[in-house]
Amino acid sequence: MDTRKADGYLHNIFSIEEVITLGLLLSLQMKIQGYDESILSHKKTESVEAFKYLQKANQWIEEHMALKDKLNTAKLDSATKYALLAVSIDPLYADAHNTMGVVFEEMGYFTDAVSEYQTAVLGKDSTWYLPYFNMGNVYYKLGFKEKAYDNFKKSTELYPRYAEGYYAMGVMQHNDENFNEAKIHYNSAVKLNPNHTLALINLGEISFIEEKIDEAIIFFQKAIDSEPSYSEVYYKLAIMYALKADLETAKYLIEKAISINNNIKYVIELNKINDALLSE
């Protein structure tokens, strides 16, 4: 457990463990009157200042009932409870806002998520790449492609070694069939993370579209090397070998895919390959 002290009014008063406990109590709207006896008793000299903070935190919870109700519908882990409390301490606590943005995004409250990510950026003097990437994800889900792309791009400008930012831009270009641009971004992601399985798969798919079968095989094989339990890649690679008339290798790969996931699509392809082998 992280033993750093919490920021804001609780600096040097509570440990993270205590803040998590308080976050749980506040999220359940327990009465504030008992806190000084139950939690602060071993820190009498600072209890007055801490009690003032607790009053402020409780008031914040009361003023944000809609927010509390949304959070209560989720299965909150300790980090989220801490984030909720940290925001009540410091309205510009960036890490807390980013965490809350992730929670809202997972719950489908996209407007709230964007608001939290935007506040997180303010708390880091606009130099933190992650909230921009997260905003890009939300905008993409909402269909705001230009805003999504701009935020993904911003994340890579702030942190040029952020592979996921390049991958996300590649996906957007890929979906719009801008294959050359997509390849540039995917290759950037792979350069930063040679085991980026999804980027390798997508590079293989573009190579297939461009009828570069040998190149596609190389990318799909690298994807398997990076993630040996991903059945779909074995299937894609099997198709490539079938196109090259290497049916034995194709059969081996399809059987491997089926051993991982008994997908009917794989079974159908295996039957086609077996029929082709019998006809030879």
Would you say 219 and 232 are in contact if contact means Cβ atoms under 8 Å apart?
no
- pLDDT value for 137: 94
In angstroms, the CA 219 to CA 256 distance is 18
Give residue-wise pLDDT tens across range 175-214: 999 999 999 999 999 999 999 999 999 999 999 999 999 9
Residue 9 token pair: 């009014």
Would you say 96 and 17 are in contact if contact means Cβ atoms under 8 Å apart?
no
> Does residue 59 carry a pLDDT above 70?
no
Widest distance between CA atoms in the chain:
88
> Does residue 254 carry a pLDDT above 80?
yes
For residues 13-39, give the mean pLDDT: 39
Q: Which amino acid is at 212?
A: K
pTM over 0.75: no
Side-chain-side CA neighbours of 172 within 13 Å: the count stands at: 23
CB-based contacts of 263: which residues, under 8 Å, 6+ apart? 231, 235, 257
3-state DSSP assignment of residue 27: helix
Least confident among 64-68, 80-84, 141-145: 64-68
Greater model confidence, 172 or 20: 172
For residues 151-178, give the mean pLDDT: 96
